[in-house]
Structure 1
């Protein structure tokens, strides 16, 4: 189960699921049938079959939790170091303006930790550690409201194409037949 915050199962939920699997292991040893175990533990028969196969190959130890599915690839110490690096600002890392983007942070991680992460992984890492995207509190002083209004009036209608064109050659089947 995935959560909106971008994480997976909580530690408590992982522990709960591990207890269910270990209960199943006790029943495997007692020779209880798959369908009975599934019904008693309120899980699918398919899951019980998968657990039984793992139990046969590795015993109860094979049913223990292995931790979060996508554990962060940076240690807590490395994340603290990354935050220090990001605090120095983009200019300290050779970027021209003062904007951090995911691609730039990805580049810093690559150079600093010799680790290649996808942009999506960088986003999840930052989000997991309390970072969020930032929007400016105020509009830029350089913004020209007259130019913006003119653009909206003259250019935007040309850019925004109509969603449906009905006319000669249209393939619309909703048009009344004009016989």
Structure 2
């Protein structure tokens, strides 16, 4: 019986263990019946005594979030308002800047690696700014590409010299 990463099956097994313990089976008998270590059954028994059957149900996995849902919404609003509104000299949001805003507003520190998870959860994605000058003159660029560039390009020379290719019979 393989239960790895099947969280529903694991929860079901824990609850079945609780029923068997309630019927008066020993920890060793429950462990053999369910294919787990006796110590695992002892842990279930302790959790049952402290919190009842609810304590055997699956809780949240992983490290708890540092910001609650309201704080995450507030952060989203700050990011949407822009980096200039947050006191930065340019409109570019970077991970270190976002980390500083979170620390300043919520007193919580995130590593830059974990900030990616937070930003994705909020619906943000990585955007690279275009590397173009703000003062570009688009009509002049188009004119130059049509007239200036072709005048500078090398034109193929007339075939006056013989070919040095060994495949050409001339």
- Shift, 1:86, TM fit: 0.4
Is it true that 1:23 corresponds to 2:11 in the alignment?
no
Query: Take 1:51 and 1:129, find their aligned partners in 2: how far apart are those partners?
Result: 36
TM-score when normalising by structure 1: 0.54
- Shift, 1:14, TM fit: 5.2
- Shift, 1:85, TM fit: 0.9
Is it true that 1:129 corresponds to 2:122 in the alignment?
yes
Q: C-alpha deviations, 1:81-104, integer Å up to 9, x for none? A: 211110122122122233222221
Partner of 2:30: helix, strand, or coil?
Answer: helix
- Shift, 1:15, TM fit: 5.3
2:15–2:53 contact (8 Å) kept in structure 1: yes
Which of 100, 115, 118 does residue 110 from structure 2 map onto?
A: 118
Unaligned runs of 5+ in 1: 1-8, 143-179
Query: Take 1:38 and 1:130, find their aligned partners in 2: how far apart are those partners?
Result: 45
Closer, same or farther: CA 16–126 of 1 in aligned 2, 3 Å: farther
Partner of 1:91: helix, strand, or coil?
Answer: coil
- Shift, 1:128, TM fit: 2.5
Q: C-alpha deviations, 1:129-161, integer Å up to 9, x for none? A: 33333345x5x247xxxxxxxxxxxxxxxxxxx
Is it true that 1:54 corresponds to 2:47 in the alignment?
yes
In the other structure, the counterpart of 2:101 is 108
In the other structure, the counterpart of 2:89 is 96
TM-score when normalising by structure 2: 0.57
State the structure with bigger RCO (CA 8 A, min sep 6), 1 or 2.
1
| 1:77-88 superposed matches below 5 A | 77-88=70-81
1:72–1:125 contact (8 Å) kept in structure 2: no
Closer, same or farther: CA 106–36 of 1 in aligned 2, 3 Å: same
Larger Rg: 2
Aligned residues: 128
